[in-house]
Chain A
Amino acid sequence: MSDTKPLLTVRNLSVDFPTRVGLVQAVRGLNLSVGQEKIGIVGESGSGKSMTARAILRLIPLPGRVRADELSFDGVDILRASPRQMRAIRGQRISMVMQDPKFSLNPVLTVGKQITEAYRVHHGSSESQARQRALVMLDAVRIRDPERVYRAYPHEVSGGMGQRIMIAMMLVPEPDLLIADEPTSALDVTVQLQVLAILDDLVTQRGMGLIFISHDLSLVASFCDRVVIMYSGQVMEVCDARDLQSAKHPYTRGLLQCLPKIEAGAIDLPVLERDPAWLEAHE
């Protein structure tokens, strides 16, 4: 962790959804601080990773409720910020790449139009400048043939291209903190690493903070600085990424064992045996 004051501080965060069949506690008592570093959040499906990310940007849909002892970003109290302050934070300072890339792109606008609009709003530049920048960014995220993709509509690009377009868009405002929710899950492994290298450079060169949500434990172990492991809305453990492979918590060990391996071939994979004691220990 860096020694400067963290960019983002989260203390005792909870997110609840009242539903017809009772209260869903999506996040329970989560603590997190993020500086100029790469934090990974891993955990099984439904463990509350996306809801944690959305709570940070106050994007929890109704009837969801967010509570926290502290939720602050660079001195701003997120829970009490005015709608105007929030818009400024969301647009300029914290960007989020959502888990559902195509959902977040406007289907009736071309890819190029969406990136240039975002660029002009943030940098007040001319149309042709913005176009130039958009093409550079598409090229940077390894899109072959950026000119064609610039003119394409979202349904005309592949899954992985959609993800890279979202990443390019989210980097337009040059955010201080980027929250990336499964940003590269649809990319082939080489392009995935090339895109992560771009994010890595922004962290080391520009001091951006990165929250990287992923199911890919080996990727997180090799890419991030620290890893938060979530289960059922709670943090089970936090460890240095390079120590993830030797993590102690049985939940983390269980997740690691579920991974298929190239050398192992067609074997039945172990699945997680959940233990109620994992939750009690944290209550």
Chain B
Amino acid sequence: MIAIEDLDISFGSGRNAVHAVRGFSAHVAANESFGLVGESGSGKSTVLRALCGLNANWTGRIVISGQNQTPRRERSFYKLVQMVFQDPYGSLHPRRTVNNILAEPVAIHRLGDADRRIDQALSDVGLNRQFRFRYPHQLSGGQRQRVAIARALILEPKILLLDEPTSALDVSVQAEVLNLLRRLRKQRNLTYILVSHDLAVVSNMCDRLAVMNHGSIVEKLTAGQLKSASPTHPYTQQLLVASKGYDRTAIDKFVDYA
């Protein structure tokens, strides 16, 4: 469904140059859920943005649903691929009501039946109809993220790129959203790439995962290897230690893997 080969992405030039993604390759089968974890700033969001056509400055090969992708995407691409962004604050237009935010993609893609679709999308993410008339600033952080997920679902895409979809959610809503995403994948044969720093979320949601550090993949694992805590790369092992909670002595032993 998704094949990425030798993806390389840089920003800026001279002393401001950043080599954000270095030779990233991964294959994700149809109906598979692939996790991306790793260091903050290691290029996870940058990979997703390139897949989704939001960043034109890449080299390498991206094939989605059999189509070789160029940096530019047609409108129809977004019926196939939708992304949920990491930052639920920046991604919702502050002067539009929830209703308008959800009605927009329906109108752009001429799907019709907006009312029913909006109700359905909201109830899919556990928000009732009253939320249609609220503005983003009248929602809590978690409520905003659910609206962002509803907006991605409303086009009924085949591929969802999920960038930290639950890191702004409380544990109960997180459980609801993860259950929902797991169920939708099964029912609608969806394919996911999910970025998360929470290894437990990845274990719950993904079949396989890649661990990134400093722009490159250091290791690929199956969910089974993650569950049995048998990764081989020391960076992944350090992530597993850190997942156990705050421990001052352990922290002082952390090292940088550059």
Residues of chain A at the chain B interface (Cβ within 8 Å): 19-21, 43-47, 50, 61, 99-100, 102-103, 143-144, 147-148, 151-152, 156-161, 164, 182, 185-194, 196-197, 200, 215, 217-219, 221-223, 254-255, 258-272
B50 interface residue per 8 A CB criterion: no
B70 cross-chain contacts in A, Cβ below 8 A: none
12 chain-A/chain-B pairs, Cβ below 8 angstroms: A45-B173, A50-B140, A159-B86, A187-B40, A190-B239, A193-B242, A215-B171, A255-B171, A258-B174, A260-B201, A262-B229, A269-B178
A143 cross-chain contacts in B, Cβ below 8 A: 41
Q: Are B172 and A271 closer than 8 Å at their CB atoms? A: yes
Residues of chain B at the chain A interface (Cβ within 8 Å): 11-12, 15-16, 18, 37-42, 45, 86-87, 89-90, 130, 133, 137-138, 140-143, 164, 167-176, 178-179, 182, 197-201, 203-205, 214, 223, 226-227, 229, 238-240, 242-248, 250-252, 254, 256, 258
Which residue of chain B has its CB nearest to the CB of A98?
Answer: B89
Most buried by B among A188, A191, A194, A269: A188
A217 cross-chain contacts in B, Cβ below 8 A: 171
- Cross-interface CB contact of A185 among B167, B176, B254, cutoff 8 Å: B167
Cβ distance A219 to chain B, nearest Cβ, rounded Å: 6
Q: Are B41 and A151 closer than 8 Å at their CB atoms? A: no
B175 cross-chain contacts in A, Cβ below 8 A: 258-260, 269-272
- Cross-interface CB contact of B242 among A44, A159, A190, cutoff 8 Å: A190
Q: Assuming the A-B contacts A159-B164, A260-B204, are A148 and B173 also in contact, with contact meaning beta carbons closer than 8 angstroms in the complex?
A: no
Q: Are A160 and B41 closer than 8 Å at their CB atoms? A: yes
Q: Assuming the A-B contacts A188-B239, A189-B239, A261-B203, are A254 and B172 also in contact, with contact meaning beta carbons closer than 8 angstroms in the complex?
A: yes
Q: Are B141 and A221 closer than 8 Å at their CB atoms? A: no
State A269–B258 Cα separation when bound (angstroms): 36
Q: Assuming the A-B contacts A50-B141, A189-B239, are A197 and B248 also in contact, with contact meaning beta carbons closer than 8 angstroms in the complex?
A: yes
Q: Are B226 and A262 closer than 8 Å at their CB atoms? A: yes
State A190–B136 Cα separation when bound (angstroms): 32
Q: Are B246 and A223 closer than 8 Å at their CB atoms? A: yes
Contacts A188-B239, A259-B200 supplied; 15 other A-B pairs, CB < 8 Å: A20-B133, A45-B170, A45-B173, A46-B142, A46-B143, A99-B168, A158-B40, A158-B41, A193-B251, A194-B254, A215-B171, A221-B245, A223-B245, A260-B201, A262-B227
- Cross-interface CB contact of A159 among B87, B141, B169, B178, cutoff 8 Å: B87
- Cross-interface CB contact of A103 among B86, B89, B182, cutoff 8 Å: B89
Q: Assuming the A-B contacts A50-B140, A271-B172, are A264 and B243 also in contact, with contact meaning beta carbons closer than 8 angstroms in the complex?
A: no
Q: Assuming the A-B contacts A260-B204, A262-B229, are A151 and B171 also in contact, with contact meaning beta carbons closer than 8 angstroms in the complex?
A: no
State A106–B83 Cα separation when bound (angstroms): 26
Q: Are B170 and A215 closer than 8 Å at their CB atoms? A: yes
Q: Are B182 and A266 closer than 8 Å at their CB atoms? A: yes
- Cross-interface CB contact of A189 among B143, B197, B226, B248, cutoff 8 Å: B197
Q: Are A194 and B197 closer than 8 Å at their CB atoms? A: no
A269 cross-chain contacts in B, Cβ below 8 A: 175, 178-179, 204
Cβ distance B231 to chain A, nearest Cβ, rounded Å: 11
Q: Assuming the A-B contacts A187-B40, A188-B38, A215-B174, are A260 and B168 also in contact, with contact meaning beta carbons closer than 8 angstroms in the complex?
A: no
Q: Are A260 and B203 closer than 8 Å at their CB atoms? A: yes
State A272–B174 Cα separation when bound (angstroms): 11
